[in-house]
Amino acid sequence: MARLPIQRPPGPQLVQQETRALTYAPDIRSVVTWPIAELLKAIPELKGLKPAESQDELPGILQKVGENVRAFFENFPNTVSVENVSTARLGWNAGYSESIGQKFQYLALARPLNQSAGLDEYRTTTKGKPVEPGGLAGGYFITKGFVSTPLHFLPSRQADSTFRYLGRQEVNKRQAYVVAFAQRPSVARSVERFSFEEIAVLLLVQGIAWIDSSTYEVLHMRTDLLPHKEEIGPTRVTTEVEFEEVHFKESHQVLWLPREVVVRTDWRGYTYLNKHRYSNFRLFVVGTEEKVKAPHDAPSG
């Protein structure tokens, strides 16, 4: 069990940027409305999908996966892992013009019950000091926040999205239900913040989740931007999160946590590719012996 003299950081520090919420068309097309043939063509991960004949199973799937997600957030023990991040910027000529690799200690901390749903996720040095990833000044995107990805299936947040049962598929030798979702612009409460230089916009997402058909744990998730009407912000942010079953030496509790994450962002003629790998998961005890300043929010995907 990791013990460090660090105090939970307060909320995100304010950035001197004008944050804008984007506008969306009322008849927006998303993955919950695309024909199966279009989905199979656009999303290679759906290869091998056995399409559903009806939506009869959807309510039961949402109920059971929702119970797991609620238990995950309500009983979440603070965790720490080793994060290796590889970041590349793909230029106009389809060649990697620049790339960097970095290593961090990655913390995921449960929030008090009186705060909003989700987890606080940030990076520190091996001594517990919050740290900003390098490369931001050089024009890179360093993404975070992936432990909280299943938040869309939290029972209290399911009304924020429209869901569609796509069918069944085998994922890593496990049978899985495949469920598409798209946030509803008029009611969605969970948003993603894209912040880079002078740009700060709030984005909504659509996505697909692969859910174990026996345990109703989320095995894999892919999210993409929900199409909007404005010409600001990134034109694409695709996030793929691969979860794994994690056992801890200090506890009998088992969690499904991100093992590998790939984020592709298209912005101003460049494609930014972030690859995150997580290992050496441990439970983390927050101490109060020393106060540290909160890290600035890094751009999140």
For residue range 78-95, what is the model confidence (pLDDT) as tens digits? Answer: 999 999 999 888 776 555
* pLDDT-based confidence at residue 291 (cuts at 50, 70, 90): very low
Question: Residue 65: enclosing H or E segment and its boundaries?
Answer: helix 58-74
Strands 174-183 and 205-212: antiparallel
Q: Which residue has the higher pLDDT, 133 or 29?
A: 29
215 to 8, 51, 164, 259: CA distances (angstroms): 32, 21, 20, 19
* Mean pLDDT confidence for 181-197: 78
- The residue ranking higher by pLDDT, 270 or 59, is 59
pLDDT band at 172 (very low <50, low <70, confident <90, very high): confident
State the pLDDT confidence band at 279, using cuts at 50, 70 and 90: very high
Which amino acid, one-letter code, is at 114? N
Asked whether 209 and 62 are in contact (CB, 8 A), the reply is no
pLDDT digits (tens, 9 = 90+) for 91-133: 765 555 667 888 999 999 998 766 677 888 989 887 778 877 6
What is the pLDDT at residue 140? 65
Q: Which of 150-164, 187-201, 229-243 has the highest mean pLDDT?
A: 150-164
Read off the DSSP letter of residue 296. P
User: With contact defined as beta carbons under 8 Å apart, do 109 and 80 qualify?
Assistant: no
Residues in the chain: 301
Q: Say yes or no to pLDDT of 1 above 50.
A: no
Strand duo 96-110 + 79-90: pairing: antiparallel
d(CA 242, CA 275): 12
The answer to whether residue 300 scores a pLDDT higher than 60 is no
Instruction: Give me the pLDDT at residue 95, please.
Output: 58
pLDDT band at 23, cuts 50/70/90? confident
Domain boundaries, the chain: 2-11+22-286
Tokens coding 280: 């050496």
What are the φ/ψ torsions at residue 233 (nearest 5 degrees)?
75, -175
In this prediction, residue 197 carries a pLDDT of: 63
Identify the DSSP state of 151. Answer: G
Are the CB atoms for 164 and 294 separated by under 8 Å?
no
Using one digit for the tens of pLDDT, what is the confidence trace for 123-169?
988 777 887 765 444 556 678 889 999 999 999 999 999 999 999 99
Contact 162, 191 (CB under 8 A): no
Q: How far apart are CA 9 and CA 28, in angstroms?
A: 38
Percentage with pLDDT > 70 across the chain: 80
Q: 135 is written with which tokens?
A: 């490369």
- Topology annotation, domain 2-11+22-286: outer membrane lipoprotein receptor (LolB), chain A (2.50.20)
Residue 45, burial from CB neighbour count under 10 angstroms (0-12, 13-18, 19+) = middle
**Structure-token pair, residue 295:** 């890290």
55-93 burial, b for 16+ CB within 10 Å, e for fewer? eebbeebbebbbebbbebbeebbbbbbebebebbbbeee
Higher-scoring residue by pLDDT: 216, 24: 216
Looking at every residue in the chain, the average pLDDT score rounds to: 82
